[in-house]
Every structure is written in C-alpha cells, then in structure tokens.
Amino acid sequence: MGQPQSKLEKATFAGGCFWCMVKPFDEMPGIHSVVSGYTGGHTENPTYEEVCTDTTGHREAVQITFDSNIFPYKKLLNIFWMNIDPTDAGGQFYDRGEHYKTAIYYHNEEQRRLAEESKRELEESKRFDQPIVTEILPAGPFYPAEEKHQNYYKKNPFHYDRYYEGSGRKGFTERHWRVKKDKDILKEKLTPLQYEVTQNNGTEPPFRNEYYNNKEEGIYVDIVSGEPLFSSLDQYDAGCGWPSFTKPLHNHHINENLDTSHGMIRTEVRSKYGDSHLGHVFDDGPPEKGGLRYCINSAALRFIPKDKLEEEGYGEYKSLFE
C-alpha cells in the first residue's frame, strides 16, 4: 500500500489576534504552513498599523495550507472553535474592534457546507450560553502580515505565553473545553492506579508499568480525555523506568506548571483539556534532540498502535509512520 496522493487545500480563519491562532494548527500532521495575515477588507497590501485603525475592513487571520487526505477540513474547524470565543461580536478577549472579529472564510462549496454544519453542531451542543456569532464568509484576497508577526509564538515564547494567558484566551478556552469529570464515573472507568496518578498527582512504580519499555509504533493519548500527547517516535530509554519522550506530539495539548511538592522544584506536565497529571519534564534529555526528558506515567496514557489509528479516530497520525 502506497501513501495517498497529496491533496493540498487552503483554509482561512479569523480568530482575533493572529499570534494566538498559529500554534494550535502548527506542527499537526498534514499541515504544510500557517501564515498570519489580513483578509476580508477593501485595500491592497495593508500594513498592521492600517488594519488596526479599523478603516480597511480587514481582519487578522491565519491561512493554512493543508493536505486534506491527511488532516481533514472538519478537524481544522474543531481546532478553530476550541481556540476562540464564538459568542463575542466585538472582538476577542482583551482585543476589541472590527479587525479582531471572528470568521471562517470558505474556499469552496464543501468548506462552506462543513463550516455551517459545524457551527450548527456547536450551537446545538449548548456548550456556550450565548448565541454563536462567528460569521461564515467567502474567502477573498489574503495578504501575509509583516515578518515579525509570523510564528510569533516561536520567536517570542515568553511574551507570547504572557499575552496568551493575560488576554484571557487561555482561561476561557480551557474552561469551556475541559473534560467535565464525574469522580464516581472515573473511578469505574479507571483502575485505582490510573485514578491515583491522573486525579491525585500520584506516581506509579518505575519498571513495573505498562509502557516504560514499549517498542511498538503508535501514539499515546490521555487515558481520561483521549487527547493525543506523545509518539513512540519520540520515546527513548532513559533508564529511569518510566516512559520517556524528547517532546510531546503538540505543545498545544500540554500544560506545564511549577511543582514544589516533596521538597523539590520541578515542572509538572498535565493534559490541557483532560487536566490529568501526566508526569514531569526535566532538562537532562538527549542534547541532540533538544535536551528535554518528558518522564510520564504509563497509568496516565493509552497506547494506540499505528495500525489502529484510523479506526480509533486518529487517522491523521498514520502519516508519521509512513
């Protein structure tokens, strides 16, 4: 079986400040590029300063070039909705004005149909108390923003993290999309050890856990939320007796917090939407791979082998192993 042929398409989303709309899509399988820019207005090649005056009609947006045979448009829509406030008609979070309003710009009739369907599903889910006001509009000319605005989260990570949190976006999106957990149901679903690790910040014994020496190819997801977290391609034997990884699948599904328990200063790793305790990250990993060691409890993970990815709903990750 050969790989399916590439089918490159464009997707364009306005989600408020474009700095915050690159990272959620970036580095996903099948995503070729995420460009920050301006669209929807009536002037050519506008500057950031001009767009900020709200006189050009443009909105800050991202344009994604993606392989729809690997990462379907419907999954892009899911990511978009999970990273905005779709009930805000006057901007996004701290950022006010026309150029910060949200929109899905469709490039063909199929994208329009899928966008309207996903908006309807979100309304019917009653996840938000207010009406969904995000517009669905035909795509027009897209003008890339100035170089300093491209991949801002990578160029200025400290400022980006402060802005992402300080603007209110981080708290809002996690509050609305975090998995609602019923302790009694979780206790039935999880083993006592899985519950202790994920819900009470416990630690399983080294060398006596499921995945510390796993040699099979596939991905690891949060046992509670199903969020994709780590890949076997980034797993290595650190000799510590727990599954160790040089990096997560996406930084976007990982939260890192200061942990001062047990008289130590460590960085705790939790899943973003499941809010499960996963383990800790240390800076004693392989230098040639970035120097980090994500030391993770097997009990917080579920492993999905590469030949089961499609049936389990993670088909986009198959391309990592081809």
For residues 26 and 21, give the distance between their C-alpha atoms in angstroms, rounded to a whole number: 9
Count Cβ neighbours within 10 Å for each residue of 145-156 and write b for 16 or more, e otherwise.
Answer: beeebbbbbeee
Residue that the structure tokens 């517009």 belong to: 135
Q: What are phi and psi of 192, to 5 degrees?
A: -55, -40
- Conformation bin of residue 181: beta by default, left when phi > 0, alpha when psi is -120 to 50: beta
Tell me which long-range contacts 187-196 makes (C-beta under 8 A, separation of at least 24).
190/223, 190/224, 191/299, 193/299, 194/223, 194/299, 194/300, 196/299
Residues 6+ apart with CB under 8 A from 246: 234, 236, 285, 286, 289, 290, 292, 293, 294
Q: 20, 52, 240, 295: which one is catalytic? A: 295
Cα–Cα distance measured from residue 18 to residue 36, given in angstroms and rounded to the nearest whole number: 6
Has 17 been annotated as catalytic? yes
Active-site residue flag, 295: yes
Active-site positions? 17, 295
